[in-house]
């Protein structure tokens, strides 16, 4: 069992839900990312999703795309990200999972990516551009390494394909709440709860919902049917203010702003 399996087993036994913030690595720099991860852990976040910057991300909206661009313009490399994570995870109680393009994994090599991620203390990976039809090899390697391979199911995924994805997934299922890109939403789709109830009948895996989750009211709506909530754009938008051109706030102020926001979401669970 991975640390993610252990986490959700504990949360279920306590009748609690998981809150997972998304943070782009090296936006604005790796020192900031490390400090923010520590602050989010201290705030009570249960997991953290660390975005590995990529030039052509799939499904990410303008806020997260812009954060990837800022990080890449700063010259960040995967090796430096793993070094930062390795220095950070021993100080955290929450597991870290990477949101990473399969192109990055493939270029490094499946075994090598797993080796480096595990050595850094990473608990799993979300690979949004890896079709389930092509995931069997990597899924088997992840299972053997007790490394969670978290796959995505969307509102447009057919029921048969959703079942196939669930069978290849470990850790938790990432359920995409909307048919579209990431970004804050005022309202969530009316059929979301029904879709989650159907999926809950197909698998025992924890189901975490992302895309569009941005306020405590969304948490209140989803917590009867989901095991966790993932928030990205609402947090990354606040992080952008650490850049002079985006608001020019100090790193400490931005970390406080993000932590305060995370606390309001956790309190709604």
Q: What is the DSSP letter of 212?
A: S
By annotation, the residues acting in catalysis are 49, 60
Exposure letters 180-215 (e unless 16+ CB within 10 A, then b): ebbbbbeebeeebeebbeebeeebebbbbbbbbbbb
Residue 185 pLDDT greater than 70, yes or no:
no
Residue 149 domain boundaries: 3-267
Task: Please enumerate in sequence order all residues whose Cβ is within 8 A of that of 237, keeping only pairs 6 or more positions apart, or say none.
Answer: 63, 184
The arithmetic mean of pLDDT across residues 108-112, rounded, is: 97
- CA angle centred on 46, ends 42 and 52, rounded to 5°: 95
- Give the angle 122-124-127 at the CA atoms, nearest 5°: 125
Residue 96: predicted pLDDT = 98
Q: pLDDT for 206-256, tens place per residue?
A: 999 998 888 999 899 899 999 999 999 999 999 999 988 787 899 999 999
pLDDT band at 180 (very low <50, low <70, confident <90, very high): very low
Amino acid 191: pLDDT: 85
Q: What is the CATH number of the domain that holds 175?
A: 3.20.20.70
Residue ranges of alpha helices (H) inside 74-215 are: 78-88, 102-108, 110-120, 136-144, 159-168, 192-200
pLDDT exceeds cutoff 70 at 184: no
**Do the bridges between strand 148-150 and strand 152-153 make them parallel or antiparallel, or are there none, so unpaired?**
unpaired
pTM of the predicted protein model: 0.94
Give pLDDT, residue 181.
Answer: 44
Q: Give the pLDDT confidence of 21-58 residue by residue, as tens digits.
A: 999 999 999 999 999 999 999 999 999 999 999 998 77
CA atoms within 13 A on the CB side of 122: 28
Cβ pair 151, 132 in contact under 8 A = yes
Total number of domains in the chain: 1
Half-sphere exposure at residue 205, Cβ-oriented, CA atoms within 13 angstroms: 29
């Amino acid at each position: 069992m991975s640390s993610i399996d252990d986490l959700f087993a504990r949360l279920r036994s306590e009748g609690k839900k998981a809150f997972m913030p998304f943070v782009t690595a090296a936006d604005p720099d790796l020192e900031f990312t490390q400090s923010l991860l520590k602050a989010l852990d201290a705030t009570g976040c249960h997991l953290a999703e660390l975005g590995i910057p990529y030039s052509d991300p799939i499904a990410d909206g303008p806020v997260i795309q812009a954060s990837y661009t800022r990080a890449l313009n700063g010259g960040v490399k995967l090796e430096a990200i793993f070094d930062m994570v390795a220095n950070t995870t021993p100080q955290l109680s929450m597991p870290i999972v990477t949101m990473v393009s399969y192109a990055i994994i493939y270029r490094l090599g499946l075994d090598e990516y797993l080796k480096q991620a595990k050595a850094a203390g990473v608990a799993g990976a979300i690979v949004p551009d890896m079709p389930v039809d092509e995931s069997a090899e990597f899924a088997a390697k992840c299972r053997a390494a007790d490394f969670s391979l978290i796959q995505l199911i969307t509102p447009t995924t057919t029921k048969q394909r959703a079942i196939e994805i669930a069978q290849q997934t470990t850790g938790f299922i990432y359920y995409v709440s909307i048919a579209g890109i990431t970004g804050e939403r005022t309202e969530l789709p009316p059929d979301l709860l029904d879709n989650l109830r159907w999926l809950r009948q197909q698998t025992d895996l924890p189901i975490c919902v992302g895309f569009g989750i941005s306020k405590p009211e969304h948490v209140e709506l989803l917590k009867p049917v989901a095991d966790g909530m993932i928030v990205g754009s609402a947090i990354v938008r606040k992080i952008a203010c650490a850049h002079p051109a985006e608001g020019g706030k100090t790193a400490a102020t931005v970390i406080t702003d993000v932590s305060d926001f995370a606390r309001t979401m956790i309190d709604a669970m």
